[in-house]
Chains A and B, each alone.
Chain A
């Protein structure tokens, strides 16, 4: 008497979760063991290669890179969660209402989304970041959400549209169910794997956008983030000076993180749409 659910922990999902854990565990807990003193100017030698005192070496101002990474990762992750989370939240509410209620609301939402999708978010983000100064990861996340809610809205709306045509929604209306009940109690549970996949993708998009801004030098430099680290490495000519310990670790972390998110979202997609399983 169980629901027919495909197995949750598929190999792809396991791989994705394992890769995420590899980043998330040190990323979330490392900040508590890191010594803030090591972030100070001249905490170690200048451009010191990895060694006993500085496992990931130091940069051109003598700051310890491991400490910077441990302090920066929570900020990067926060940007992703806030950016992706708010975009999906906004997209879910707008997409569900537009899809279910239809009419004028749907027309406005659909057209706004269609136009918004053809405007590259980075173009708007650059203008925003060049005009205002973004100081906290929270702000960065919210600003990114402003430019990335269109995609979640669009995909959730189309899912609701296809569900709405199903006969079970007609039957619920005949059973006296209110629109709110139908949208949130009946349609929503059907969309959970789908929403989860959308959320994971939105987190990846938000982190991607934040690195884009930070690499352009438009990040908030008061707070350490991995994107800022790469920007400083580029500015500090780390590449040409052969200081691989400066730029390589954040990139490796990003690669592991993005692959983890990618595998998890692929696995969630399969869960939401079992037809993809073959092939």
Chain B
């Protein structure tokens, strides 16, 4: 049995804010990225779902309160020296705001050179310029238009592709992308997404694509995980999850997404159960986090957190409706 590239098992993480608040960002999340077959895994959730925390944990920038994060079987928190370098070389990232991802005082290629200097052997150093140009060209960027430019001189889409080129320089096996297109204009978004897809298909790089936007997830992902308040509520192959959502939350989410087609307008207002009264929230504290908004809620949902259960659509959903014998929603 081969060792997975990256595994998260039952990861918990919470943050304390101020004197009283404790925010549970992640409450028992497990997932794994296989080493052999490249794929794009999308983690989708609204703000506050814990998706960004998941990305920071996977990069080793945060450590979990409980649970384990492993890179090729080794715990990430314990990586030192060469093992840490291997991890950094194999697992890279791009971020949400390309304008804030460059140091404004240096030209954009500064960080590309720095990456090469820190990761390559002496013999490889000589070909540094060629490798940078090649990486930029692989992202369909003209090196002459990019090298020596300062961040403010390029568009968000161009900057994001320079960052893709930087990650690509290391030939990583996995790139973690936290909302990589949400700050890029729609007309340029497609180019970045296409680049991501191309890196998977031509160069065998896997992606952890973290986003709030299921429409872009549709375009590139293989596997889809839906995160709600720190827990995975639905998981499965992307098309099945989007076309036949099994968790009431996923269903609501997909209904709420507008389609870019005036002939496909919303017919009736969203079936929305906004029962967020204090009593309901307190009652649901030990049960399903979606209880307050759920159209199918049962008393059972207050008692325990539903585990991920197999669904007829061959996906998994954390909902008691999928317990054997339960009445399923139409």
Contacts and interface: CB of A to CB of B under 8 A. Distances in A.
A166 B105 CA distance: 14
A167 B95 contact: yes
Nearest to A163: B103
A167 B92 contact: no
A239 interface: no
A174 interface: yes
B95 A175 contact: no
Interface stretch (B148-156, B215-223, B261-269): B148-156
Interface residues of A, number: 17
A195 to B, nearest CB: 13
A175 B97 contact: no
Interface in A150-205: 166-168, 170-177, 186, 189-190
A172 B105 CA distance: 14
B101 interface: yes
Contact of B103 (A1, A174, A186): A186
A173 B150 contact: no
B92 A4 contact: no
B59 A174 contact: yes
Contacts of B163: 171
B118 interface: yes
B85 A167 contact: no
B100 A168 contact: yes
Contact of A168 (B92, B102, B149): B102
Nearest to B163: A171
Interface string B101-121: 111111000010011001100
Interface residues of B, number: 28
A4 B151 CA distance: 10
B161 interface: no
B141 to A, nearest CB: 17
A175 B104 contact: no
Interface string B74-97: 000000000001001000110111
Contacts of B322: none
Contacts of B97: 167
A52 interface: no
A172 B166 CA distance: 11
Contacts of A168: 100-103, 111
B27 to A, nearest CB: 24
User: Which among A1, A175, A177, A186 has the greatest number of chain B C-beta atoms within 10 A?
Assistant: A175
A3 B107 CA distance: 9
Contacts of A172: 103, 111, 114
Nearest to A176: B118
Interface in B118-164: 118-119, 148-150, 152-153, 163
User: Which among A168, A172, A174, A186 has the greatest number of chain B C-beta atoms within 10 A?
Assistant: A174
B296 interface: no
Contact of A175 (B100, B111, B148, B150): B111
Nearest to A175: B115
A175 B59 CA distance: 12
Contacts of A176: 85, 88, 114-115, 118-119
A173 B96 CA distance: 16
6 contacts: A1-B148, A3-B105, A171-B111, A176-B114, A176-B115, A186-B106
Interface of A: 1, 3-4, 166-168, 170-177, 186, 189-190
Q: Which 5 A-B pairs have the closest CB atoms?
A: A176-B118, A175-B115, A167-B101, A167-B95, A189-B105
